[in-house]
Amino acid sequence: MVVATNNFPSSNGRTIPATIISPNTIIELEKGDPVVFEKYWKKRSEECSIVIRGWELMSYLGDAKNSVCWYMLPEVERGIRRLHHVVGNAVTNDRYIVVGTGATQLFQAAVFALSPSHPSQPINVLAAAPFYSEYQDEVSILRSGLYQWGGDAASYEKNEPYIEVITSPNNPDGIVREPVVKSEAKGKLVHDLAYYWPHYTPITHQADHDLMLFTFSKCTGHAGSRFGWALVKDIEVAKKMTRYVQMSSIGVSKESQTRVAKIIGVVCDGYENFGSMESELFFEYSKRLLRERWEKLWAVIDESKLFSVAKYPKAFCNFTNESSEPFPGFIWLKCEEGIEDCESYLLEKLKIRGRGGKRFGVDSNYARLSLMGTDDDFNEFLKRVSNA
């Protein structure tokens, strides 16, 4: 292994750009911090600026006329409906919108809202493995008497009511998913659609489920804003979710809400103004970024005997009007050649920090790595995998 001070030719002749990262430095690809999109927003920096004056946004209230989500600013609600209309990824007609401090808070609000209020025993919350690594802890942390973590949805065999979370495209593996529980009991569904946006995956249909979760973090990459939203069919569920957010944090930062409204507005304006250059539109630009990374990765993985990544089928995207593979935000890496603990191997041999398969309910020969880090981290990652 050498310090890359010049471009580094990989074995298949492609050139991996130089990085300034020392080979002894650990590359942090464990979390999914979406810093890759920062360069897009630097181009749009002034256009997306918000100014908040000293006396503005002081009240707990967002919209006294909203009988469900009273802390939501009206311009946020309008922005969310407009964005889904522009992208065509989800039905918003006849849906209530509940906003939260990230989809993380809303996931818990949803589980609370769908749980029976006075159960004889906690209802099981399920997700098909590999499932998002945080669901289990988020469900279990307070040892609720209302709900409990029930594990892998695919192996659930109890004839008892349940809540199934369908993450689609899935985190960690990017697969488009449907419910999998086979039970005679009645289940309630939460669709976590954090990655159902055109830069990550073809938009094949307008999602039309009872309870759908989205997050600003993955949509535009503004993870620091801690802002998510739910589209909810049943008003009582929406009200119960709002009640949870009220008890948990008395609403959602108005500063974040103002910024969300502004940035969503700029994204939508781009698509609705006839003269916009395609290369400057958010989802096209971001898809190109992710596609470039995936193409570099596939080239390296194709040559690797140690690592593999599943290939994704193409699908036609109604939004971009082209057929393409998905370009997930995470690499779901499988270690081959008898490497049993992929996370440890990556860390010890390659100084790459990922998150091992066991956190996702599967074997430790898998690990999840962020594809959305800095260029330097990503290129250094490619170099180390190439060299391994």
Residues in touch with its own copies (CB under 8 A): 31, 33-35, 37-42, 44-55, 57-62, 100-102, 104-105, 108, 112, 134, 137-138, 141-146, 217, 221-227, 244, 247-256, 258-259, 263, 266
Total residues found in the chain within this entry? 388
Strand partners, 269: none
The residues, ordered by sequence, that sit 6+ positions from 318 with a Cβ below 8 Å of its Cβ are 88, 202, 203, 204, 205
CA angle 177–297–361, rounded 5-degree value: 40
* Identity of the residue, 36 or 232, whose beta carbon is nearer to its own copies in the bound complex: 36
* Identity of the residue, 45 or 273, whose beta carbon is nearer to its own copies in the bound complex: 45
Do 80 and 69 form a contact (C-beta atoms < 8 A)?
no
**How near is the Cβ of 7 to its own copies at its closest, in Å?**
27
Backbone angles phi, psi at 29, to 5 degrees: -120, 25
**How near is the Cβ of 144 to its own copies at its closest, in Å?**
4
Give the whole-angstrom CA distance, residue 337 versus residue 333: 13
Encode 237-262: b = buried (16+ Cβ within 10 Å), e = exposed: bbbbbbebbeeeeebbbbebbbbbbb
* Identity of the residue, 73 or 212, whose beta carbon is nearer to its own copies in the bound complex: 73
Q: Which two tokens stand for residue 330?
A: 């995470």
* Identity of the residue, 60 or 298, whose beta carbon is nearer to its own copies in the bound complex: 60
Closest to 99 in 3D by CA, of 127, 71, 122: 71
* Identity of the residue, 47 or 272, whose beta carbon is nearer to its own copies in the bound complex: 47
**How near is the Cβ of 91 to its own copies at its closest, in Å?**
27
* Identity of the residue, 293 or 383, whose beta carbon is nearer to its own copies in the bound complex: 293
**How near is the Cβ of 272 to its own copies at its closest, in Å?**
18
- For residue 214, what are the CA distances in angstroms to 88, 104, 158, 175, 241? 14, 10, 30, 17, 14
**How near is the Cβ of 103 to its own copies at its closest, in Å?**
9
Q: Which two tokens stand for residue 387?
A: 């060299």
Give the whole-angstrom CA distance, residue 125 versus residue 110: 11
* Identity of the residue, 207 or 289, whose beta carbon is nearer to its own copies in the bound complex: 289
Cβ neighbour number for residue 17 with a 10 Å cutoff: 16
**How near is the Cβ of 367 to its own copies at its closest, in Å?**
20
* Identity of the residue, 254 or 384, whose beta carbon is nearer to its own copies in the bound complex: 254
**Pairing of β 162-167 and β 187-192:** parallel
* Identity of the residue, 40 or 271, whose beta carbon is nearer to its own copies in the bound complex: 40
**How near is the Cβ of 89 to its own copies at its closest, in Å?**
22
Q: What is the DSSP letter of 245?
A: H
**How near is the Cβ of 156 to its own copies at its closest, in Å?**
22
Q: Which helix (H) or strand (E) holds 127?
A: strand 123-127
Strand partners, 149: 125
**How near is the Cβ of 139 to its own copies at its closest, in Å?**
10
Do 181 and 208 form a contact (C-beta atoms < 8 A)?
no
